[in-house]
Amino acid sequence: MISGWGLEVGGRQDWRLVPAALVVWPATMAGLLLGWWWTAVAGLVGVAVGVVVLVRFRGRSALARWWCRGMAWSLLVCGLLVTLAGTVRLRAVAEDPIRALAGAGASAVVRVEVTERPKPVFSAGFGGQQGGVWSVVVPARVVSAVVAGRPVDSTGAVVVIASADRWRALLPGQLVTATAAMAPAKPGGMTVAVLRVRGPPEAVTEAPVWQRVAQTLRAGLTDAAAVLDPEPRGLLPALVVGDTDELPQHVVEEFQAAGLAHLLAVSGSNLAIVCVAVLLLLRTLRCGPRTAAAGAMLALAGFVVLAGPEPSVLRAGVMGAVGLLALAVGRQRAALPALAVAVIVLVLWDPAMAVSIGFALSVLATGGLVLIAPRWADRLAARGVPRGLAEALAVPAAAHLVTAPVVAGFAGEVSLVAVVANLLAAPVVAPATVLGVLAAVVAPVTSWPAEVLVRVAGPEAEWLILVARHASGVPGAVIGWPGGWLGGVLLAGCVGLLVAALRRRWLRTLVGVLLTGLLVVVVPLRVIAPGWPPDGWAVVACDVGQGDALVLATGDAGRAVVVDTGPEAAPLDGCLDRLDVSRVPLVVLSHLHADHVGGLDAVLADRAVGAVGLSRAREPRWAWEEVRSKAHEAGVSVVQLTAGQRLAWPELVIEVLAPDEEEVMPRAESDGTEINNASLVLRATTPAGRVLLSGDVELSAQARLLDARVDLSADVIKVPHHGSRYTSPELFSAARARIALVSVGAGNRYGHPSPFTLRLLARTGALVLRTDKGGDTAIVATEAGPKAVTRGASRAPPGRAAKPP
């Protein structure tokens, strides 16, 4: 029996409600994906099956008759509900007039009710646009709409995309008016349109009192967490209420790679932790089961309000409420019926749940805990494993096993470290959550007890960050897998075959031998001797997405010069870790666009840095102030570089070719081209040959270099501006490079690299290497000259970028 995870299950499970859930869920899914009429068809099939079972299959025993009647009546009732109520709702959504107007690209004045808290959208910096959260997504419901002076009758669900500074503070329940450009919503859901709003919300009403109270509690937790370091400060509100606003983006990515992303959103585990804590407290005070369940129900309701009416919170709340009701009436082992009831109620109440990946993961994970984990824990305990350890191993393994096919189909990858990472994280999640909830409750009353509670929760948050960072950094932690339905079904088949195979002793032995063989062969190839970085690397172009970041070896172990830092810290940090770079005598920022300076924290945070080198350009101003502030905080000096300077290390010499002292620097009103043309142009002499580092120089700056007869000859050229079309053939002719490096993000919306530039390079005979295709790219020295070695493209999607300069 598993009891330490918020569930108490064991023995024979009651399956009577499961067929009804399997009618409601697929029927609604079919209606959303294929057409509303399919819901009626599937619901009537369920009704027919219920009638047949009720009439024909009476069973030979009283138990069998009881089971058949229960299943049949649940099929009849749920089939009729989904046929009548579900079909009406889905048809109304399909025929909503806003949907047709959105398809035509109409504009409207809309009055909407906010239904969920605004969700921030992180954008990686590019050009003069600073990286960060500049927009929010606000789920809402239409109250009224006017298109071309005519009212439109609609109450459909919409998604509002608006600026963060004006819309981020809205709360569920508030009514707002805005002028919006409408666009079609993604098919297969309940949303009828996407509303793009540029202006501020108007005629904003006051939020309901409980929402204002909840916001006060959330703000109190955030304020109290300010006593912690930046990373745990952002993680604690995410653990407690799913608020990731203050959590650094690289930490979010580490949790995703480690299979711990579920900790950053409110789920059933949060509710289970809170409810179990209240239950234990009330039982310690000798309250009866029903009183304890009622107290836990109140705590559950309060936590749902605190976290906000998000879909994940509501589905967890329904599941917890049904479970507590079962406890109150004395049926502690009714977890499977509780899960079936949760599925039926949630899908009928919100049909969008039927196509929600989060909902599917929640249901599957709970089912794994109910059906698989207890048996695995019993078998491990029977083989001598301590009971607590057996449960700790069985729970994450079962949850990961049943959810892996959905994750693989959705994300196109499989995590190999998720089970171990969750096992290591589990002991501290409950204490951190309970302490965070207590801090949120007391913070509005008095601050110092909340700060004490937060300080006690701090080590737990730091441990979770440590686990995520090391798990995500394991070579081969995430492997690629076919995406879509095919990939999910394929992995489900593999998992099913594996489980079936493990039921026979000789197959278990065979699987053990195969896994041992894989460990002997794959681990040395992928971990012990991963082949990266290659021996003797002189230059590495890091795969940092749509930006530049190059690392030049100095000849001293662990010591390298970094030229540009990309748009975000995490990709560069990973690249430097893989290269084992711990000392950086100089960070050169070719110019102050966000895709070249955004990852500066990766170098300054955990490495010894000598100086940050810049040209005389100080635009964009925000970037200059940010670089100067970060360097000051790290105790690193900022130095100016200009043409004619020469910097040397044992196996590296850097010459500054441009700009010179006489060149006019960009002003505050300068556009992106002027800032690009002020880029530092460097030539590095390395054991692998000469490397021309051209920043983002465009045609006029290239012409100045050529007119001044600057020696641009090199063995390797870093192609300017991510392969933009604004590159002259004469530049490539002057360089005469054998290898051309293009640092560019996969799927970028700027058309980089330009086909025109690629054709120019092809005419020179240079080998073109792109980071979006080959990932980190190293240049190594050989007797025949420079040789390129690629690590392989990252599967991570590129960050969103702003409009190009």
Strands 646-649 and 560-563: unpaired
The percentage of residues in the chain with a pLDDT greater than 90, rounded to a whole number, is 45
For the segment 656-667, the average pLDDT, to the nearest whole number, is 81
The rounded Cα 637 to chain-centroid distance in angstroms is: 35
* Closest to 757 measured CA to CA, from 694, 713, 709: 694
Q: CA 166: distance to chain centroid? A: 24
Residue 58 has pLDDT above 80, yes or no: no
Whose tokens are 């330009």? That residue is 754
Please tell me what DSSP assigns to residue 323: H
Distance of CA 698 to the CA centre of its chain: 35
Residues in a beta bridge with 682: 656, 693
Q: How many Å separate Cα 226 from the centre of its chain?
A: 24
Would strands 583-584 and 587-588 be described as parallel, antiparallel, or unpaired?
A: unpaired
Cα–Cα distances in Å, from 736 out to 23, 729, 763, 764?
Answer: 68, 11, 11, 7
Q: d(Cα 267, Cα 483) in Å, to the nearest integer?
A: 25
How sure is the predictor about 487, in pLDDT bands with cuts at 50, 70 and 90? confident
- Decide if pLDDT at 488 tops 50: yes
Confidence of residue 670 (pLDDT cuts 50, 70, 90): low
Q: Can you give the pLDDT at residue 796?
A: 42
**What letter does residue 723 receive in the DSSP assignment?**
G
**Mean pLDDT computed over 328-354:** 77
Residue 666: predicted pLDDT: 75
| Confidence band of 802 (pLDDT split at 50, 70, 90) | very low
Q: How many Å apart are CA 644 and CA 655, to the nearest integer?
A: 7
Q: What pLDDT score was predicted for residue 284?
A: 80
Three-class SS of residue 596? Answer: helix
Residue 702 clears pLDDT 60, i.e. is over it: yes
Token output for 615: 């040209």
* C-beta separation of 480 from 415 below 8 A: no
User: What confidence tens digit (pLDDT) does each residue in 180-235 have?
Assistant: 999 999 888 899 999 999 889 999 999 998 888 888 888 899 899 999 988 899 99
More confident: 591 or 303? 591
Token digits for 331?
Answer: 């049926």
Average pLDDT over the chain reads: 84
CA nearest to 653, candidates 682, 685, 694, 689: 685
Segment 501-545, tens digit of pLDDT = 666 666 667 666 665 665 555 545 444 445 689 999 999 999 999
- Determine the Cα–Cα distance for residues 798 and 745; give it in Å rounded to an integer: 6
Judge whether 303 and 277 are in contact, CB under 8 Å: no
Q: How far apart are CA 656 and CA 647, in angstroms?
A: 8
In this prediction, residue 701 carries a pLDDT of: 92
Indicate the pLDDT class of residue 4, thresholds 50, 70 and 90. Answer: very low
Question: Which three-class secondary structure string do you get for 387-413?
Answer: HHHHHHHHHHHHHHHHHHHHHHHHHCE
Can you tell me the mean pLDDT for 338-366?
Answer: 85
Do 254 and 468 form a contact (C-beta atoms < 8 A)? yes
Confidence at residue 29, expressed as pLDDT on a 0 to 100 scale: 93
Q: Which residues contact 116 (CB under 8 A, 6 or more apart)?
A: 138, 139, 172, 308, 309, 310, 311
Q: How far is CA 751 from the centre of its chain?
A: 25
Task: Judge whether 424 and 392 are in contact, CB under 8 Å.
Answer: no
Residue 669 has pLDDT above 80, yes or no: no
> Residue 484: enclosing H or E segment and its boundaries?
helix 484-501
End-to-end CA distance of the chain: 61
Rg (alpha carbons) of the chain, rounded to whole number: 30
Q: Is the dihedral of CA 154, 155, 160, 166 positive or negative?
A: positive
H or E stretch including 787?
Answer: strand 785-790
Pairing of strands 150-152, 132-147: antiparallel
- At 59, the pLDDT band (50, 70, 90 cuts) reads low
What lies within 8 Å, CB to CB, of 223 at 6+ separation is: 443, 447
pLDDT band at 285 (very low <50, low <70, confident <90, very high): confident
Whether residue 173 contacts residue 207, with contact meaning beta carbons closer than 8 Å, is answered with yes
**Span 362-386, average pLDDT:** 80
Query: Collapsing DSSP states into helix, strand and coil, what is residue 502?
Result: coil
